[in-house]
Amino acid sequence: MENKSARAKVQAFGGFLTAMVIPNIGAFIAWGFITALFIPTGWLPNEHFAKIVGPMITYLLPVMIGSTGGHLVGGKRGAVMGGIGTIGVIVGAEIPMFLGSMIMGPLGGLVIKYVDKALEKRIPAGFEMVINNFSLGIAGMLLCLLGFEVIGPAVLIANTFVKECIEALVHAGYLPLLPVINEPAKVLFLNNAIDQGVYYPLGMQQASVNGKSIFFMVASNPGPGLGLLLAFTLFGKGMSKRSAPGAMIIHFLGGIHELYFPYVLMKPLTIIAMIAGGMSGTWMFNLLDGGLVAGPSPGSIFAYLALTPKGSFLATIAGVTVGTLVSFAITSLILKMEKTVETESEDEFAQSANAVKAMKQEGAFSLSRVKRIAFVCDAGMGSSAMGATTFRKRLEKAGLAIEVKHYAIENVPADADIVVTHASLEGRVKRVTDKPLILINNYIGDPKLDTLFNQLTAEHKH
């Protein structure tokens, strides 16, 4: 239980980081394209346009993250505080302050939240606007100074330490060993904490100097996941074999890595294949001096190629290909060596039995009154979006007027009638909503979704 609780806490932390970064990914990609095109080593070198690169990474992107983090904690006033505080850490350090913005944003939201609560019942009638504006201004000034004098320099020291440790690994040739940590953490749905918390900030720093960074590729390589799903497509059994082809397409082309996580959790030994695929892919990226100009989100092959700078396409394609082949070979070997022979009918029976058992509790309400279904995942952008779209289309074809949307855990709507989420996120979702939960292991093709669909169609026809 302690391990599960610790994992849930790290997931929640990763989800919060993601909620700060994901809404601003478009800005990061815009910066990446400008960098790839107009810096001296870019596709269309242009000294005039290249002047935009520095201010964007130094000021715009950190302030956007800080503002978003402030908004998550303290609403619109928190967003203003987060932006003000972030400027303090930016000016107080000499590097792109992404880690600092992830601290100052939520801190600013928290500060103004407590300030507003303290002043709530003490404001004389007619002075609300004056006091609200001045309280925000004074608190923002103090937070900005704190960021400039204390937090900025402290983050710079911590950032330098982490950067030097990882660079030491790179120079010593140990960079390919990072997947030993990354891959097990990813399948426990801790991928957001790793990417947004560690590799993205380091990658942005390196890209601002070199025009590209390998850190963007360490945990996001779609190759190992592709190899694993391809092996399940050819050598899997039952439900895993049937669902793998669709998952493979969406993972590799759509960049939704969460789709392969259930397959690894189902066959834990395949984590060896994922680690080996990740290590070999990273080794190839490093060998051929690969790198991306920005973080690929989602981590699809299209995003990889779009963010590959001039002269690095061989490294990108080779790293993805090698990761795929190694993962495929080892996963295939593991699946072929399995002694347990699971027939199609046994697999279907087990899945159906589990679905019925789970739905007994989940269906303890009238499905005929269901008007809104919320698909929920960590970030609310990837796997849940795909699941919601697929399920909504099924309902539309059946003629059911039920609203199906996707959300991050923190944004589950109060008016949702049913919440669909991954089983590993159950604890976190229960903390934010008391709505009936449908716990699944796969956002597409899960038997519980089929059961829910059949029950909804049956109820709404009466």
- Positions annotated as catalytic residues are 377
Within 10 Å of residue 137's Cβ, how many Cβ atoms? Answer: 12
Work out the widest C-alpha separation in the chain, in whole angstroms: 77
Task: List Cβ neighbours of 122 (8 Å cut-off, separation of 6 or more).
Answer: none
b/e burial code for range 64-80 (CB count within 10 A of at least 16 → b): bbbbbbbbbbbeebbbb
Give me the sheet containing 372-377, strands edge to edge. 403-408, 372-377, 418-422, 437-440
Neighbouring CB atoms inside 10 A of 313's CB total 14
Sequence-distant (≥ 6) Cβ neighbours of residue 137 within 8 angstroms: none
CA 245 to chain centre: 23
The dihedral region occupied by 255, where left means phi > 0, alpha psi between -120 and 50, and beta the remainder, is: left
Torsional sign, CA 402, 404, 409, 413: negative
What residues form DSSP beta bridges with 50? none
Write the DSSP string, 116-155.
HHHHTTTPPTT-HHHHHHHHHHHHHHHHHHHIIIIIHHHH
Sign of CA dihedral 311, 316, 317, 322: positive
Paired sense of beta strands 372-377 and 418-422, if any: parallel
Q: Which residues contact 326 (CB under 8 A, 6 or more apart)?
A: 224, 227, 273, 276, 277, 280, 281
Measured CA to CA, the distance from residue 210 to residue 230 in angstroms comes to 35
Q: How far, in Å, CA of 128 to CA of 141, rounded?
A: 20
Owner of token pair 């203003």: 80
Angle at 79 between CA 75 and CA 81, to 5 degrees: 115
Distance in angstroms (rounded) separating the CA atoms of residues 368 and 461: 9
